[in-house]
Structure 1
Amino acid sequence: MKRPQATIATVQPGSIADELGLAAGDVLLKIDGRPVEDLLDFQYLSASEHLTLLVCRAGEPTLFEIEKGSEDDLGLGFSQELFDGIRRCGNSCVFCFVHQNPRGLRRSLYVKDEDFRQSFLYGNYVTLTNLSRHDLDRIAAQRLSPLYVSVHATDPAVRNALLGRPSAPPLLPQLDFLAGHGVEFFAQVVLCPGLNDGPVFDRTLRDLERYPPNLRAIAVVPVGLTCHRERLPRLTPFDRALARRTVELCHARQAEYLGRFGTRLVFVADELYLTAGLPFPEARAYERFENVEDGVGMIPRFLRDLARALSRFRRVAPAGRRALIVTGRAA
């Protein structure tokens, strides 16, 4: 693991850090003897009323002892959020969208991130395959909730095959740990026809039933395939019949879960409705639209918002006026 480098970028005038003489370019090494891995760690560790800061100034370590109110901010700003850098993904998923990017794009589009901190901060989905015991304990202690978990399948052999690694850490014990420590999470299942659909998908849903209310929602999305799949595993896209069966199964589970958990729990990506040729559910069936960034409910929410906006118009546009709405191919 990369050694944390918490370089101070700014010092707020009149703050505790300013009174200590800290300056931009100094490096925060430890708080209370613990290395500071990222901004979240800093905020958590610096909340104490009594703490020590080990700071490197001009190559020399200096120890500061501080007494402050629990709400008092130290007044430090840093050059980056992740002091040890973003954690990279060690999986080789058969459907990885990064592997399907064309050549010649900007470098950041080829970064495969697998960082639970990015999951908490920005909703990035992670497989949890690179979590250490220290990471799990930290998630529990600092209540880094909710997280966004790429489940795909709960059958270990199937999940390992999807992730492209022979021995990924077992997922369910990790979810047991998170739920047992009050951490909430969203689950994602990327369905690949012939791999994790059918009975495997049915088992996945059944295995996840034990996690509400910590499990907030399950997003079911079809595998996304581009034309840039040279030397990648052959995958089959959804056809109309399979998409219809998948939607119908999810609707049946929604009815069951609504009675059991007070939530529909499982939500289907818009693309599956379009492929199946089925109408979208009404907007309230998406509850809080918590999976919209995963392509779940994006079109129904747009149509709802459009209807509300149009209802505020007092006049009808003159005949002959035209409007253009740009959509993707599936629409």
Structure 2
Amino acid sequence: MTDLLTPQDIARRTAAAADAAVAAGRDLGLTVTDAKVLYELFSVVVHLAPAPVVARIPTVLPSYADLDSLAHRQRAELDVAQWLADQGVPVIPPSPLVPAEPVRRDGFSMTFWRFVEEDRDRAPDYAANSAITADLHAALRTYPGRLSYLSAAEPRFITDALASLEQRPDLVEPADLDRARREWRVLEPLVRSRAAFEERFPGIDLQPVHGDSPPANIFPGVDGDLYSDFELITLGPVEWDLAALGPDLEAAYDRRALSKGMRPLDQDVLRFVNAVGMLRTIAALTLAPQLPALLEYLEPAIAQWRTAPFAGGLADLP
């Protein structure tokens, strides 16, 4: 495979994103003399020190994503995070020092957030994080913003990726691609159509959900845990936020949900969201040229998928 970015390529991309964030921050009136990259994977996250502001710049994206579509998603994220902060929900809010709008600079679209000191001595407690995801769902139920149904599933990404992977046997085995396509024919109608979902899963309410595994996106601040990273905020079943976490973390969520008068997770819906999540994993192989580390990261999940029921067993459900 010759089109994988090298470590040097990725370093240049990270530096370009950080430079764009520094320039944009200064244009907005921030004093930035000691910028530091805090994190990089699908996005580059930069502390614009000494300003108490963090810039997040998405850098690994599907081929069809452009600055307009990215900004649309970023506006929704900024809106929901600010709304939650206004309700007193513990969340990393947009920075109050700059307008809460995506900013374009040098081919990037970025957002600006309040800097929060991380408690680096505390290991993640995923059971506790799964439990307080029920608190987040309770808070999000009254979010007034308009959201699209299951946009976090990114159906275009899956469809386009399954088509392009036909030309990439170096990324996916033909048998895996064949199975993924057949599963998508079962699952796609339920992902694209709210009416189809509601017919298949009667009585399952839809509401605003985080969209990107909140138990893995709870930030350990020195003054307490904060919800973060609402890039995939969407309308969907609460099960979407617990996909692929397993029975122990599902049980932690259920205990908290029941204590708050909320319904427990539905096992059939969990099978559905887990199956869709696995197809997003297959689709993510198309991002490997931009982020080669994905290949090693995704392989264990793909190996597990090969032994799982077809389409999560959904084709056999009544």
TM range, smaller chain: under 0.3
Q: What TM-score do the two structures reach when normalised by structure 1?
A: 0.27
Q: Which has the higher helix share?
A: 2
* Relative contact order, higher structure (CA 8 A, sep 6+): 2
Q: What TM-score do the two structures reach when normalised by structure 2?
A: 0.27
- Rg larger in structure: 1
